[in-house]
Structure 1
Amino acid sequence: ILAQDIPLDVLYEDDDVLVINKTSGMVVHPAPGNYTNTIVNALLYRYGEQFNTSEEEEENTLRPGIVHRLDKDTSGVMVIAKTGLAHQALCSQFASHTTVKYYIAIVKGNFTVKRGTINQRLARSLYDRKLFDVTDSKTRGKEAITHYEVLRNYPGFAFVKVKLETGRTHQIRVHMKSINHPILGDALYSRKDDKFPEVQLMLHSLSLEFTHPTTEERMKFIAPLPSRFSEVLRVL
């Protein structure tokens, strides 16, 4: 993998972890058709060859330090492990759902309720492998739980805060679509909006709380609201 000098917006760093505010449009790790300009390319430049996690996992040669992912167009808080031990500890926290993750989103339509929970399994779409669907099947897919709170209704749109109990691929995007409130700017799960045809995915990882892998201190990081949100909210 190519090491590239790509600037990262660092929220916090010590010997074990790096916490960044990921910009929208940046891919987390190389994949077919996208081997450059990813966060992993930036990490290899920043830390060099030392930046490798447990060698027995071959996929880590393509994913040094990556313990969770944000979709390409999702911005916000992301933690990266700088050592093998930190990688193990953080992966286990994400797997056992002891991290606390909040997102904010602008979605289509108005809500009549103030808050709610979506508890529906997610599985790969039978029609398009790039997409996910909610499923009632007990054997297909994985459990997925999303809690949401409506911060404000606007004409035709709503500003919502979301808490993830599980962290499945495209979880918030598919769950919001399943209750007829797709995320504005979601090219995969929503039609282009006439009022905001150019807008990117309006989903932002607002805060992340985890236990530090070495000190065992509980830490919480917040990524400020990106300008694309204030620009849209201003005209709603």
Structure 2
Amino acid sequence: MSPAFTWVTLTKTIQVFGKGGDTIDIPILFEDNHLLVVEKPVNVPVQEDESGDDDLLTILKRDIKIRYEKPGNVYLGLVHRLDRPVGGVMVFAKTSKAASRLSDQIRRNAMEKYYLTIIRGEMDAPRAKLENYLVKDRRKNEVYVVGKDNKHGKEAELEYEVKEEEAGMSLLEIDLHTGRPHQIRVQLAHLGTPIYGDQKYGQNVNHPGQQIALWSHRLVLTHPVKKEDMTFTSYPPDTYPWNIWPAYISE
């Protein structure tokens, strides 16, 4: 018998004040005693970095502390990451047991992660698997495709499906099998089809000020305690170039 899936929709939006006084809206897709699933805003770092800007993990901890009037430190486990310019669905663990079980799902590739992205150009095939080896230059914070014989190379694998093509661009759905840093961005740029707005890996065709068109669209996971299979979905905003294809944007 196939597992019963729970499809989750938006439950509420929390509004927090940033360090500069600006407000940040964070939609909550699901929350119980074990999980917190949110829609990450674009250009907000997932965790504290050298910029000193508000980060999502700290914001959410602060919100939980205030909403539930919790004394002392609040636990919230970070089990996966999104690049700062990327928005979309993320799951956090509210207990150490949940964090451990979610991390185990990721290690076993049992958590399915799907992205939407818009690339410059067209793919050679309507769907395919991309397999490369990647090396990260930590000093430059850049990732490169290397040969299989490179001892520092880490295997990176994803599958893509072309959903739409128009105006010299293509909308893809990505099924991410491994979670290497900048993986989707690097593998697509390596084919000569960089992501729209990606300043790091598509600087020859993109321009400053363009928002990268990469969105964490769907997570499929098993609840760490209830053992139910759950699907969480988030759609890109109604902005260019996403709004070229209205069926794929948030209402």
For the aligned pair, the TM-score class normalised by the smaller chain equals 0.7 to 0.9
Equivalent position of 2:211 in the other structure:
200
Q: Kindly state the Cα deviation for residue 192 of structure 1 after the two structures are TM-superposed.
A: 5.9
2:106 to 80, 94, 104: 94
* Distance in structure 2 (CA, Å) of the matches to 1:180 and 1:193: 10
Q: What SS does the aligned partner of 1:91 have? A: helix
Matched-pair contact (CA < 8 Å) for 2:109–2:177: yes
Aligned CA-pair RMSD? 2.1
2:184 to 172, 180, 192: 172
Equivalent position of 1:37 in the other structure:
54
Count of residues paired in the alignment: 218
Mapping 1:109-124, distance limit 5 Å = 109-124=121-136
Gaps of 5+ in 1: 53-63
2:223 to 209, 212, 224: 212
CA deviations 1:201-226 (Å, max 9, x no partner) are: 10001100011011011110100232
1:173/1:188 CA distance change after superposition, 3 Å: same
TM-score, normalisation: structure 1: 0.85
1:197/1:43 CA distance change after superposition, 3 Å: closer
Equivalent position of 2:64 in the other structure:
47
* Distance in structure 2 (CA, Å) of the matches to 1:145 and 1:112: 17
Matched-pair contact (CA < 8 Å) for 1:209–1:218: yes
Q: Does structure 1 residue 153 correspond to structure 2 residue 165? A: yes
Q: Kindly state the Cα deviation for residue 68 of structure 1 after the two structures are TM-superposed.
A: 0.3
* Distance in structure 1 (CA, Å) of the matches to 2:162 and 2:245: 18
2:46 to 15, 21, 28: 28
Amino acid at match of 2:131: N
Matched-pair contact (CA < 8 Å) for 1:185–1:192: no
1:229/1:117 CA distance change after superposition, 3 Å: farther
CA deviations 1:175-207 (Å, max 9, x no partner) are: 00011110000011012647x763201000110
* Distance in structure 2 (CA, Å) of the matches to 1:186 and 1:16: 35
Equivalent position of 1:18 in the other structure:
36
* Distance in structure 2 (CA, Å) of the matches to 1:227 and 1:211: 30
* Distance in structure 2 (CA, Å) of the matches to 1:207 and 1:154: 23
TM-score, normalisation: structure 2: 0.80
Matched-pair contact (CA < 8 Å) for 1:111–1:153: no
* Distance in structure 2 (CA, Å) of the matches to 1:173 and 1:230: 17
Q: Which moved more, 1:154-163 or 1:201-210?
A: 154-163
Structure number having the greater strand percentage? 2
1:229/1:85 CA distance change after superposition, 3 Å: farther
Amino acid at match of 1:162: I
* Distance in structure 2 (CA, Å) of the matches to 1:214 and 1:145: 29
Amino acid at match of 2:74: F
CA deviations 1:118-163 (Å, max 9, x no partner) are: 100111149x531001111432131110111111121321111110
Gaps of 5+ in 2: 1-15, 18-23, 66-71, 247-251
Q: Kindly state the Cα deviation for residue 82 of structure 1 after the two structures are TM-superposed.
A: 0.4
Q: Does structure 1 residue 79 correspond to structure 2 residue 91? A: yes
1:222 to 223, 233, 245: 233
Amino acid at match of 1:16: H
